[in-house]
């Protein structure tokens, strides 16, 4: 399963990259097989509603976090003007906790989000196990 991640690069600006979340485990139930990732611990979970028309200036993520879009549509812009959009049911990893950060815009909203804040010891490599 692929997810978009934005993070600070060596030039201290945010960039997009794709990460692969491995699904190495399986479980069967009533004749169906489910493919699962390894468990990922969370420090906190927050539910947030961003107002329609929100257009945030440059800012880093307050913490490393998975962002799950529950409703609405938002856009994130990183250095160089590259933009990506996410809607209901989509997930990304906000991982740019330092540097210039990114811009956030609500395109269709309000945008309701779930932030899954990651613990300080979260290792990106654990997603590929």
pLDDT recorded at residue 94: 98
pTM exceeds 0.85, yes or no = yes
- Per the CB < 8 A criterion, the answer to whether 95 and 56 are in contact is no
pLDDT recorded at residue 129: 66
What's the rounded Cα separation, in Å, for the pair 104 and 86? 11
Whether 69 has a pLDDT exceeding 70, the answer reads yes
Average pLDDT in the 104-127 region?
A: 94
Whether 61 has a pLDDT exceeding 80, the answer reads yes
Share of the chain above pLDDT 90, in %: 92
The closest of 56, 65, 59, 62 to 102, measured between CA atoms, is: 59
Whether 25 has a pLDDT exceeding 90, the answer reads yes
Number of domains in the chain: 1
Average pLDDT in the 98-113 region?
A: 96
The closest of 52, 80, 69 to 115, measured between CA atoms, is: 69
Domain that holds residue 38: 2-128
What's the rounded Cα separation, in Å, for the pair 105 and 80? 16
Whether 72 has a pLDDT exceeding 70, the answer reads yes
Question: For the segment 37-50, what is each residue's pLDDT rounded down to a tens digit?
Answer: 999 999 999 999 99
Mean pLDDT (the chain, rounded): 95
What is the CATH number for 92? 2.60.120.10
Q: What is the dihedral of CA 105, 10, 117, 68, to 10 degrees?
A: 40
């Amino acid at each position: 399963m692929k997810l978009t991640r934005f993070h600070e690069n060596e030039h201290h600006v945010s960039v997009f990259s794709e990460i692969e979340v491995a699904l190495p485990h399986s479980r069967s139930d009533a004749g169906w097989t489910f493919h699962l990732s390894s468990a990922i611990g969370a420090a906190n979970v927050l539910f947030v509603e961003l107002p329609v028309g929100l257009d945030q200036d440059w800012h880093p993520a307050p913490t490393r976090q998975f962002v799950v879009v529950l409703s609405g549509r938002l856009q994130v812009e990183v250095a160089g003007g590259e933009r990506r959009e996410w809607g209901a049911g989509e997930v990304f990893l906000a991982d740019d906790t330092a540097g210039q950060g990114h811009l956030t815009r609500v395109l269709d909203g309000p945008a309701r989000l779930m932030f899954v804040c990651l613990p300080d010891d979260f290792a990106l490599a654990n997603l590929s196990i």
